């Protein structure tokens, strides 16, 4: 049967690559929902090509433009942030690709789970912010989550046929970003154009900056804790500049499994959409001859403090990862707008975490309030 797909954030990096995967296999997938925030021009092109039943522009200021551009198409046009929570519940959708950036992905994902939809999760912040709540809801509504991040997809594939109880440790690999090997003095003067120049991956601005600071790997560690039911001490980050080994699972008998391939997000996207089947494709293949050497090293947490901050937030639990995430989103946005230096970002995050009240077992309302308070304080500190 054809799997019907709703894509939240279809004009972003993950969204566009998801549509590339889907376009390769029209006999397997059908797009029923497309959403974007501001990129009306691309959203219109996608809607004309894939002919979904529903198209959503979450920034209502663009509604008239979208409506006019698609007036002759047989599809329903919607607008507003709240509509994202409603559209994921449409009966036609079998799986929801959550490719929104940041905290914005939480409420639509919660809504999709409550509607019984499976989730292809690219929005790591959903589990970072509210991992305990999300895992509980997945069990309650009998839904599955399929990781789209390359590292988590790698672990997911390595665990196929294995018991969670046999896992001794997982290794999440990090490229090290564009500033690997720099000194503290050098980092003080880096620019956003340098930070956005990732050596291996093509990603959106926010994720690319997180990768440069290694915060992205910290967020992924928290996501892995919830996805694979792991204690923090069973998660380790290693720098692997070639980005060929995407992650490794070590079992309690000493055996290890690694998932490898070229750094191409279409591979994990396709695996998530097609699960449990593997689907053939014509994407470029990895060759050992092209990579005669692979390198691994420890991350420098004294230099890249955000990684250590994220692990501390994971160990503390409660609403602390939510506070950290909110402060990080503010910090990244400020850096991208030249109002905060690269080395000041982790300091701002820590200062915010130290000031917001800790809640051990937060509710969804607590998460929303913690996010709001953390953003407000971080902006004030800037």
Query: Per-residue pLDDT tens for 34-58?
Result: 999 999 999 999 999 999 999 999 9
Using pLDDT thresholds of 50, 70 and 90, give the confidence band for residue 101. confident
**CA geometry: angle at 180 spanning 179 and 184, to 5°?**
65
Query: Does position 177 have pLDDT exceeding 90, yes or no?
Result: no
Mean pLDDT in the chain?
95
The domain defined by 3-147 carries CATH number 3.30.70.980: no
Query: Per-residue pLDDT tens for 187-244?
Result: 999 999 999 988 776 778 998 999 999 999 999 999 999 999 999 999 999 999 999 9
From the list 360, 357, 281, 287, the residue with the least C-alpha distance to 318 is 360
Query: Does position 346 have pLDDT exceeding 90, yes or no?
Result: yes
Task: Please give the structure tokens belonging to residue 259.
Answer: 């998932």
Burial (CB < 10 A; 0-12, 13-18, 19+), residue 176, is buried
What is the DSSP-derived secondary structure letter of residue 292? S
5 phi/psi in degrees, rounded to 5? -120, 135
Distance separating alpha carbons of residues 345 and 21, to the nearest angstrom: 35
Fold equal for 3-147 and 317-382: no
Across the beta sheet with 76-79, what order do the strands follow?
76-79, 54-57, 29-36, 3-8, 95-98, 118-121, 145-147
Q: Which region, left, alpha or beta, applies to residue 198 given φ > 0 means left and ψ of -120 to 50 means alpha?
A: beta
From the list 103, 30, 99, 47, the residue with the least C-alpha distance to 269 is 99
CATH number for domain 317-382, candidates 1.10.1740.10, 1.25.40.390, 1.10.10.520, 3.40.190.10 = 1.10.1740.10
| Residue spans per domain, the chain | 3-147, 152-191+210-263+284-312, 317-382
Q: Which residues lie closer than 8 Å to 168 by C-beta, 6 or more apart?
A: 234, 250, 251, 252
Q: What is the DSSP string of 295-330?
A: --B---TTTSHHHHHHHHHHHH-TTHHHHHHHHHHH
Query: Per-residue pLDDT tens for 259-285?
Result: 999 999 999 999 999 999 999 999 999
Distance separating alpha carbons of residues 230 and 78, to the nearest angstrom: 40
Task: Please give the structure tokens belonging to residue 31.
Answer: 């797009």
Using pLDDT thresholds of 50, 70 and 90, give the confidence band for residue 115. very high
184 phi/psi in degrees, rounded to 5? -60, -40
Using pLDDT thresholds of 50, 70 and 90, give the confidence band for residue 1. confident
Please report where in the chains the tokens 């000041």 appear, as a residue.
344
CA 89, distance to chain mean position in Å, is 21
Query: pTM for the complete prediction?
Result: 0.94
Q: Could you tell me what percent of the chain has a pLDDT over 70?
A: 99
Burial (CB < 10 A; 0-12, 13-18, 19+), residue 164, is exposed
Q: Which residues lie closer than 8 Å to 37 by C-beta, 6 or more apart?
A: 9, 11, 57, 58, 59
From the list 35, 38, 1, 41, the residue with the least C-alpha distance to 15 is 35
Distance separating alpha carbons of residues 298 and 28, to the nearest angstrom: 41
């Amino acid at each position: 049967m054809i799997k019907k797909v709703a894509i939240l954030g279809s004009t972003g990096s993950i969204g566009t690559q998801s549509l590339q995967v889907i376009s390769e296999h029209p006999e397997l997938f059908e797009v029923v929902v497309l959403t974007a925030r501001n990129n009306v021009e691309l959203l219109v092109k996608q809607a004309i090509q894939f002919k979904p039943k529903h198209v959503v522009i979450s920034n209502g200021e663009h509604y008239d433009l979208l409506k006019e551009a698609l007036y002759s198409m047989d599809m329903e046009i919607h607008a507003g942030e709240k509509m994202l929570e409603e559209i994921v519940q449409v009966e036609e959708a079998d799986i929801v690709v959550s490719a929104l950036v940041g905290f914005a992905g939480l409420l639509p994902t919660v809504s999709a789970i409550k509607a019984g939809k499976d989730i292809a999760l690219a929005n790591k912040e959903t589990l970072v912010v509210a991992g305990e709540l999300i895992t509980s809801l997945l069990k309650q509504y009998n839904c599955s989550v399929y990781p789209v991040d390359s590292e988590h997809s790698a672990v997911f594939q390595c665990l196929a046929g294995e018991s969670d109880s046999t896992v001794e440790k997982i290794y999440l690999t990090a490229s090290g970003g564009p500033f690997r090997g720099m000194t503290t003095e050098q980092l003080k003067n880096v620019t956003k154009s340098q930070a956005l120049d990732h050596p291996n991956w093509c990603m959106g601005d926010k994720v690319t900056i997180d990768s440069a600071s290694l915060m992205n790997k910290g967020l992924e560690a928290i996501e892995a804790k919830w996805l694979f039911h792991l204690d923090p001490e069973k998660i380790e980050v290693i720098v692997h500049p070639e980005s060929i080994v995407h992650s490794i699972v070590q079992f309690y008998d000493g055996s290890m499994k690694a998932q490898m391939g070229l750094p191409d997000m279409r591979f994990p996207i396709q695996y998530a959409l097609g699960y449990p089947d593997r689907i053939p494709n014509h994407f470029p293949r990895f060759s050992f001859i092209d990579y005669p050497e692979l390198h691994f090293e420890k991350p420098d947490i004294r230099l890249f403090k955000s990684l250590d901050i994220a692990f501390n937030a994971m160990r503390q639990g409660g609403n602390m990862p939510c506070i950290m995430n909110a402060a990080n989103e503010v910090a990244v946005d400020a850096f991208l707008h030249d109002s905060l230096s690269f080395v000041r970002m982790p300091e701002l995050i820590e200062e915010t975490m130290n000031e917001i009240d800790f809640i051990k077992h937060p509710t969804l309302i607590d998460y929303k309030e913690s996010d709001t308070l953390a953003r407000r304080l971080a902006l004030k500190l800037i």
